[in-house]
């Protein structure tokens, strides 16, 4: 399990509203206005392509991971980019600051949240009413060769300024033999190694409920917008629309139970 600890950073001087306005969260549409105005300015949350190597590979989504009314900008880079998958999260807080967290570049600990689709990342959401926690369950499939792949289930939990990223279980698919025989293995992660205790398919299919029992099942959809898309939207005055669409997708969500039945 990796933990992202978040450190405060001041919003840039271009922000024109008072910090006192954040005593209670602004309405989501007003927060999106703030994000729009502070995207492209110096030290803004959106890094322009010319200011960072390979920054065109980043994608963004607007969410409220802990459902506390304060929006977050999720920023991810896929695993095929040099250095492996990367994940950052910036949240608007009551005092008008941004909280920033980043996780180490470790493929076994960081899911490629873009792996499900080019534009929309489906996740299963487990809500723990007793603890008021939301656990986002993602799948990522990595092809080591055309004859072997490993699918990992991950849980992301955002609470009190800390983002926990935890692999739950692995599914290994191997094609071998003259007749194309298939070998399938299911196992738990073990420390720094992918190889842990072997389990059955039934336990793999239910591993998120084992890890987070008694939770309400919900669906959500992250609408990722590429850096290129956001830059083009900003150039024609449509950046706010692009951010609002991403947040609307997250809020409306979609039932995603079918993603979690074995049938990789």
Residue 148: enclosing H or E segment and its boundaries? strand 148-159
Q: 39 in helix, strand or coil?
A: coil
Nearest-5° angle of CA 99, CA 101, CA 105? 165
What is the per-residue pLDDT across 58-102, written as a single tens digit (0 to 9) for each? 889 999 998 888 898 888 887 655 566 778 888 876 554 555 554
DSSP conformation letters of 203-225: HHHTHHHHHSTTPEEEEEEEE-E
Is 256 a residue whose pLDDT tops 50?
no
pLDDT at 10: 32
Where do the domains of the chain lie?
2-257
What is the per-residue pLDDT across 100-138, written as a single tens digit (0 to 9) for each? 554 433 345 577 777 654 445 678 899 999 999 999 998
Note the pTM of the prediction, 2 decimals. 0.78
Is 7 a residue whose pLDDT tops 50?
no
How far, in Å, CA of 171 to CA of 139, rounded? Answer: 10
Nearest-5° angle of CA 214, CA 5, CA 71? 70
């Amino acid at each position: 399990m990796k933990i992202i600890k978040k450190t405060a950073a001041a919003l840039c001087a271009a922000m024109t509203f008072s910090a006192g306005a954040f005593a209670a969260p602004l309405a989501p549409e007003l927060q999106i206005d703030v994000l729009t105005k502070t995207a492209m300015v110096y030290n803004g949350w959106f890094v322009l392509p010319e200011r960072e190597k390979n920054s065109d590979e980043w994608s963004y989504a607007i969410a409220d991971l802990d459902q506390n009314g304060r929006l977050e900008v999720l920023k991810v880079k896929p695993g095929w980019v040099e250095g492996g998958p990367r994940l950052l999260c910036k949240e608007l807080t009551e005092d008008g600051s941004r909280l920033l967290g980043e996780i180490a570049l470790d493929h076994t600990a960081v899911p490629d949240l873009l792996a499900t689709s080019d534009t929309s990342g489906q996740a299963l959401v487990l809500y723990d009413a007793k603890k008021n926690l939301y656990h986002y369950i993602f799948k990522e499939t990595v092809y080591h060769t055309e004859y072997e792949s490993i699918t990992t289930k991950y849980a992301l939990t955002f609470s009190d300024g800390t983002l926990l990223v935890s692999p739950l279980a692995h599914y290994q698919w191997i094609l071998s033999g003259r007749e194309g025989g298939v070998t399938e293995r299911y196992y738990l992660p073990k420390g720094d190694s992918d190889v842990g205790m072997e389990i059955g398919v039934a336990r793999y299919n239910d591993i998120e409920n084992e890890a987070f029992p008694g939770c309400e099942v919900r669906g959500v959809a992250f609408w990722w917008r590429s850096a290129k898309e956001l830059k083009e939207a900003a150039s024609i005055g449509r950046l706010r629309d692009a951010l609002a669409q991403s947040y609307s997708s997250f809020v409306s969500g979609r039932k995603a139970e079918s993603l979690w039945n074995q049938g990789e």
